[in-house]
Chains A and B, each alone.
Chain A
């Protein structure tokens, strides 16, 4: 069989849940481990050897000035850099003990486990329903009842259901920017990933929409492991449990968010979070 990621990929969609104490179904979050990761774009070394372990059910913020490698590092986890010309990678990234850069990995299966929300809201030019159902439909799921349930649940989780339940047939492009971004989150949640990667998800949004998404992230961590790249220090300190500070392709400091923002070990971290550079 092509799929060798037994732990995360072979789980069928309906088995992708465990029960919590009160009987409601909970999604299972994953753990990520990076070992001596190096990345090049052509001759340029973008990541210079990073080790990191991210625990399940946590929110981890990646901060650092532009070009520090935080987005590149984030995109390693769902192999989104594969399409970049000149991309080369060394080291290991394990998700639940499976190295996702080994040769026989099925990248599509991997990406079903690891959702991604992008900087600019990027709904498909389809209806709201079709957007959320997309991930399920490409897996070959056609059962109408199942799709309806999943779409509703994902929209509820993304706190968008009440606003759109009347017209799921409406084009997603007719929604506001903040709604579009929550739709993109719902689209990701519908396939029940175990990790959600967010690449500056609120940088194109107004403060009210931003607050909604931050609140959402806070709830989602019960069921998912979340990594968020952000340029906004306050956001990192508000929503994350752990913070990683990157600078020039290196991981300068990685610790509990509280520690990073109150008592950082390194001078560079302190300079950055207090706004002295970057």
Chain B
């Protein structure tokens, strides 16, 4: 009787793992199948080289580049904000802050990631953009700059928290060795501790980038919905994610080519985040081998 009970528990645990995998495989399959049927009508070459994305207009162009540039531009701005701030926070918490302060501030910072992204989106649109317009009169109401900045604030805890874990895990011996040579705290932090934790820090940055690329609400609300191949942060752009919601919410006919565009866009996005996750997984694996 007991054996049967154990067996049932084991199998049910196994099946929940299998269901998760099955769902993931299913999603990828749907993405791939729909994308393949999209690419039967639009050549892959055009998809990657055409500089216009106008599937909802009469003059249809299916070039992913404007969406991709929107995604990369907002992500780049976000990471430019989050990297210096997040890294400074992590170094401060790990190397300078008293233990009790570290224990209080870390969960508080992690709250930043818990704020619903729709709130961030409105914050960008109705607070940050008007604020920036005081200094930059040319700034459009929708722009990648404020969306990127706010997205950067959102991903700060990804960098600060994970990097801090990596820095804190650096053995105390190494710090003592450095202090013992006459190094200051600053020299010890930047010449010994940060390099020793570099793989963990890189992983945190990649995860933050991956989060920024996949972020939807903030960019959909604050960056606009105008696919445009540009590096100008002051004008409206559209990211891959924002385009996917735009189509999903609209009245595009199921099965039409316009409908299939979201799968082509989706699989491009997936390819990016999958690549980043794989890289960070590989780095983490190497890093664990080194320190355990």
Contact partners of A111 in chain B: CB under 8 A: 179-182
- Interface residue B176 (Cβ < 8 Å from any Cβ of A): yes
A122 adjacent to B181 (CB under 8 Å): no
Q: Mark B5-25, 1 if CB is under 8 A from A, else 0.
A: 000000000000000000000
Contact partners of A108 in chain B: CB under 8 A: 182-184
- Interface residue B171 (Cβ < 8 Å from any Cβ of A): yes
Q: Mark B180-193, 1 if CB is under 8 A from A, else 0.
A: 11111001000110
Contact partners of B171 in chain A: CB under 8 A: 122
- Least Cβ distance of A54 to chain B in Å? 18
Contact partners of A138 in chain B: CB under 8 A: 181-184, 187, 191
Which residues of A, 98-119, contact B by the 8 Å Cβ criterion?
108-112, 115-116, 118
- Interface residue A78 (Cβ < 8 Å from any Cβ of B): yes
A134 adjacent to B181 (CB under 8 Å): yes
- Interface residue A274 (Cβ < 8 Å from any Cβ of B): no
Question: Of A78, A123, A125, which one neighbours B180 at CB under 8 angstroms?
Answer: A78
A124 to B179, CA, bound (A): 12
Contact partners of A184 in chain B: CB under 8 A: 177
What is the number of residues of chain B that contact chain A, defined by CB distance less than 8 Å? 19
- Least Cβ distance of B186 to chain A in Å? 10
A187 to B181, CA, bound (A): 8
B179 adjacent to A191 (CB under 8 Å): no
- Interface residue B109 (Cβ < 8 Å from any Cβ of A): no
- Interface residue B196 (Cβ < 8 Å from any Cβ of A): yes
- Interface residue A126 (Cβ < 8 Å from any Cβ of B): yes
What is the number of residues of chain A that contact chain B, defined by CB distance less than 8 Å? 28
Contact partners of B183 in chain A: CB under 8 A: 108, 134-135, 138
- Least Cβ distance of B283 to chain A in Å? 15
A115 adjacent to B180 (CB under 8 Å): yes
Contact partners of A187 in chain B: CB under 8 A: 177, 181
A173 to B195, CA, bound (A): 14
A125 to B169, CA, bound (A): 14
- Interface residue A142 (Cβ < 8 Å from any Cβ of B): no
Which residues of B, 173-228, contact A by the 8 Å Cβ criterion?
173-174, 176-184, 187, 191-192, 195-196
A125 adjacent to B195 (CB under 8 Å): yes
- Interface residue A83 (Cβ < 8 Å from any Cβ of B): yes
Q: Which residues of A approach B to under 8 Å, CB–CB? A: 78, 80, 83, 85, 108-112, 115-116, 118, 120, 122-126, 134-135, 137-139, 173, 184, 187-188, 191
